[in-house]
Amino acid sequence: MLNHDHRRRFAAGAACLVPAGAVTMLVALVAAPGSWLTGYVSEAAVAGLPFAATYRWGFFGVACGVALLAGAVGPVVRFAGPVLGVAAGLAATSAAVPCSVGCPLPPYERASLTDLVHGGASIVGLVLLAGAMGLTVIDHRTGPVQRRLAAVSGVVIVPVGAALALTMLIAGRHPLGAALERVALVVAVAWLTGTALVASLPAGPIGGRPRPRDHARVES
C-alpha cells in the first residue's frame, strides 16, 4: 500500500495533470471551426479537425490525473479509489474513441458504434465522478475542506447532470444541452483539481491528519 508521502505525490501530480489537460482541451475547443459554445465539447476531437489530436491528448491528461487521484485517496476514502479508477479508464476510452461529426446519440440521431462507445464512456464517467463526490462526503475520515468541496460540487453536478440527460432525451441536440454539459465539466474539473490540491498538502490525502501507521512508515 502507498505510504503517506507517496499518496501526496500522486495527488500533486493529479493537481497538475487535470487542469493542464482541461486547458489543452479548451484550447482545442476554441480553435475548432464554429462557435465553441455550441454543440458537444467532444466534437473538437472529430477526425480531420486541425486540433483534434490536441483535444484528445488533453483528455488523456485528465484521465491520467484522475487515475493518480484514485491512487492518492483510494487507500483512505472507502470505495472512492476504485470509483475514480474506473472513471479514469472511461475518460481514457472517450479520448481514444472519438465520436463522428455532430457526436450523434439516440433516440433522435443514428449513432455508430464508436459514437455509442464514446458517449457511453463519457456519460458513465461523469456519473461515477458524482458518485465519488458522494463517497467523499459520507466517509468519516474525510477532512472538512474536502468534504465541503465534494458537497458543493455534488449539489451542483447532480441536478445539472440530470437536466442534461433529460434535455438529450426530450430535445436531443440542443443549445441548452451544450450549456449544461459545459457547466458539468467545469464543476468536475474544479472538484478534481481542488481535491487533488488539498490531498497534496502535508495534512494528508483526506484533508485531516495522516494515520499513525503512515508516520511509522515515513519515519522508517
3-state secondary structure 153-205: HHHHHHHHHHHHHHHHHHCCCCHHHHHHHHHHHHHHHHHHHHHHHHHCCCCCC
Quick: pLDDT tens for 132-184: 999 999 988 888 999 999 999 999 999 999 999 999 999 888 999 999 999 99
pTM, 2 dp: 0.90
Region 70-93: mean pLDDT is: 91
Environment class of 158 (CB within 10 Å of its CB; exposed 0-12, middle 13-18, buried 19+)? middle
Residue 213: what pLDDT? 46
Weakest mean pLDDT among 11-20, 141-150, 200-209: 200-209
Confidence of residue 214 (pLDDT cuts 50, 70, 90): very low
Query: What helix, strand, coil percent values describe the chain, rounded to 5?
Result: 70, 0, 30
Quick: pLDDT tens for 28-71: 999 988 888 999 999 999 988 889 999 999 999 999 999 999 99
Confidence of residue 210 (pLDDT cuts 50, 70, 90): very low
Q: What is the DSSP letter of 45?
A: G
Residue 203: what pLDDT? 66
* Single-letter amino acid code for the residue at 138: I
Mean confidence (pLDDT) of the chain: 90
